[in-house]
Amino acid sequence: MAPGSFHLPPELWIKVFHWATCNPDAYSLEYQPFQSLSSHYTVDPLNLQVRTTLGLVCRKWHELSVEFLYKDIQIGVGQSKLRQNLHNGNGNYGKYVRRVVLPLSSTTTPTWNSKPLLPLDIIKCCDNLEVLSRPRSYDDLEFEFDVDSILLPSLKKLQWDYEPIAEQSGGINSLGTTLLSAPHLRYLSIRGAPDYHLLQHGPKTSLKSLKTLVISTATGPLINQIAYQWYLPSLTHLVVGAIHTTDLLCIWEIYKNQLEVLELGENPSFLTQDIISAALRMCPTIKTINYYPIVTLPPQENSGFHSVTTIGLNCGCSMTFPDESVCTYLEKHCQRVFFSGIFPCLQTVHFFGSWAHVMKQYNFGRLVTQLEQHGYQILFHF
């Protein structure tokens, strides 16, 4: 690097470092179509490598880039050194931390320890923590003793891999307890779900700011918990990855006057029942529906759903190698959704994912032409 380049104003270098290490999906609090269920709960290795390398160039770059190095951390090996760097008086870098990845494997309790777990001390150093991710491990983990809980007043986004064994140890390993400790959440994602009631049965959990709720699997216990044990007055965006219960009636009933966006995941469970009609019949405020047409029943009811103005379709993995029967089904599906009059106020149609294979097998251009002739705005997101 040319020596003169080091004489750029620090403010400009900080902007350069920001863009070099930017990972907006990790911190985003807003709903993004077809991104929630596939979002990663871990630290991006390439992003970490860039952040680490910046601090090794020279002393000045180290001083300017240290806030980006500690912005996104994963608690694993080297916990004592990490705590030392984050603690007041020992670097005080905890003020820079915005996101923490805390694997379940880092908070196991195979033996009794009277002292708080070191990962909890690390989190306590992070006064401005906004995002907490709790990915599961596929190793055999032991949770024999209780774990402490910590207050998370600044937390806005929680990504949680549900593990029944860990839930029983309470504290930071319990989803129910953690939600009580994070009253200002705006975004909650839950992967996995209990088959029985392990969450709290006491007073309702109040999450007044929660706007987006993502659940990978809708089971009866989890749906009842959301409907009757949680207070979510700001909930407008609901993402359901799969449904393993008879219906979502209680969800539609409780949140019928506030839901605006519904997304269904790429799972054949949505072929077993007409989720879209049930949701729209009971929730007249839903404006947008995003789903995978190959694994989702189109609305079977003929009554017009006037609230829907936007529909997003994702071809998904099911359309990678479409055969004639798949394309025939897709054509019938689109005829039902777009040309039968069940969505009289529909204005915009979004196509997500790669539709290249569909275009080869199925006269996709004809469908787009028909949509445009009906006055729909067509947008592609590849």
Of 7-11, 22-26, 215-219, 261-265, the range with the highest mean pLDDT is: 261-265
Is residue 39 pLDDT above 50, yes or no?
A: yes
Q: What is the DSSP string of 335-378?
A: HHHHHSSS-TT--EEEEES--HHHHHHS-HHHHHHHHHHTT-EE
Residues 155-183 have a mean pLDDT of 90
DSSP 191-243: ES--SS--S--SSPEE-TT--EEEESSEEHHHHHHHHHTEE-TT--EEEES-E
- What is residue 165's three-state secondary structure? helix
Does residue 1 register a pLDDT over 60?
A: no
Pairing verdict, β 131-134 and 205-206: unpaired
Q: Is the dihedral of CA 268, 269, 273, 276 positive or negative?
A: negative
Higher pLDDT, 161 or 287: 287
> Per the structure block, which two tokens stand in for 19?
């863009």
338 in Cβ contact with 374 (< 8 Å): yes
Structural contact between residues 187 and 209, judged by C-beta atoms closer than 8 angstroms: no
Mean pLDDT of the chain: 86
Helix axes 59-69, 10-21, angle to 10 degrees: 50
Are the CB atoms for 221 and 243 separated by under 8 Å?
Answer: no
For residue 80, give the 3-state DSSP assignment. helix
* Residue 374 reports pLDDT greater than 70: yes
What are the backbone dihedrals phi and psi of residue 105, each rounded to the nearest 5 degrees, phi first? -65, -15
Q: Confidence band (pLDDT; 50, 70, 90) for 108?
A: confident
- Tell me the residue ranges of DSSP E strands in 68-134: 72-74, 99-101, 131-134
Q: What is the pLDDT of residues 110-151, one digit of tens each?
A: 777 777 788 899 999 999 999 999 998 777 777 777 888 899
Per-residue confidence (pLDDT) for residue 2, from 0 to 100:
44
338: pLDDT strictly greater than 90: yes
Average pLDDT over residues 50-72: 86
Q: Which of 85-99, 287-301, 340-354 has the lowest mean pLDDT?
A: 85-99
Question: Dihedral, CA atoms, 141, 101, 113, 193, nearest 10 degrees?
Answer: -50
pLDDT of residue 21: 83
Percentage of the chain surpassing pLDDT 70? 92
Candidate ranges 38-52, 102-116, 304-318, 320-334; pick with highest mean pLDDT: 304-318
H/E element holding 161? strand 157-161
pTM: 0.90
Question: Mean pLDDT throughout 299-323?
Answer: 83
Of the pLDDT bands very low, low, confident and very high (cuts 50, 70, 90), residue 349 is very high
On whether the CB atoms of residues 321 and 360 are closer than 8 A, the answer is: no
Q: What is the pLDDT of residue 59?
A: 85
Name residues whose C-beta falls within 8 Å of residue 213's C-beta, 6 or more positions apart in sequence: 188, 226, 232, 235, 237, 238, 239
For the ranges 55-64, 122-131, 236-245, 276-285, the lowest mean pLDDT is seen at 55-64
Integer Cα distance of 242 and 171 in angstroms: 28
